[in-house]
Amino acid sequence: MPTCKVCGRPAGFFSDCHPDCAQELVRARAERRRGQEAADWASGARQVIGAIIFIHDSVTASRGHNDEVVPLAAVLWVYHRQVTRWYGIIPFMRTHELVLESRDGRQLSCFGPREEVEQALAEMRKRAPWAVYGYTREARAAMAKGSRVETARAIEARRLRMSAHVNE
């Protein structure tokens, strides 16, 4: 019989954790996160600018359920995406997103009103000037499967040159 991964007691045939133990684990994780967020706000390390939240040298979305945090040093490509939903031939909804693609291929989508997305994009240009900005033909070609590794190396070299220049 499997044992509970939290308390170590027998857990039953189809589970590796008691429901009460799993619930307590989730509560404890939420409390730790809440405490960390409160400490970040108090220290000024957490700033909401437009559609994104900057935490130390990382970024996350200010809305939605995506709580993924991407380090600024890993950001390769940033662009504004506008998606229009159609009802037949009539456009009925438009959403704006700031899309960040990282070195490891992850994509963080931060949505909001157009003004907030543009404000977040302007702040990203200040904080991560080494990244590729915009959804142009050249940017798409540079970030395509065949050339992504070489582009990532070039962007990383540019980031290191910029950080060395700032530290002088």
Examine the domain organization and report whether 121 and 142 are in the same domain: yes
Examine the domain organization and report whether 114 and 132 are in the same domain: yes
- Whether 59 and 108 have beta carbons less than 8 Å apart is answered as yes
Indicate if the pLDDT at residue 5 is higher than 90.
no
Examine the domain organization and report whether 71 and 141 are in the same domain: yes
Q: What is the pLDDT of residue 41?
A: 66
3-state secondary structure of 62: coil
The two beta strands, 107-112 and 132-133, are: unpaired
Dmax of the chain from CA atoms?
62
Q: State the total domains in the chain.
A: 2
pLDDT-derived band at 14, boundaries 50, 70, 90: low
CA–CA separation, 74 vs 59, rounded Å?
Answer: 10
pLDDT, the chain, mean = 86
User: Is the whole-model pTM more than 0.85?
Assistant: no
Tens-digit pLDDT profile for residues 98-120? 999 999 888 999 999 999 999 99
Residue 155: which domain range? Answer: 46-167
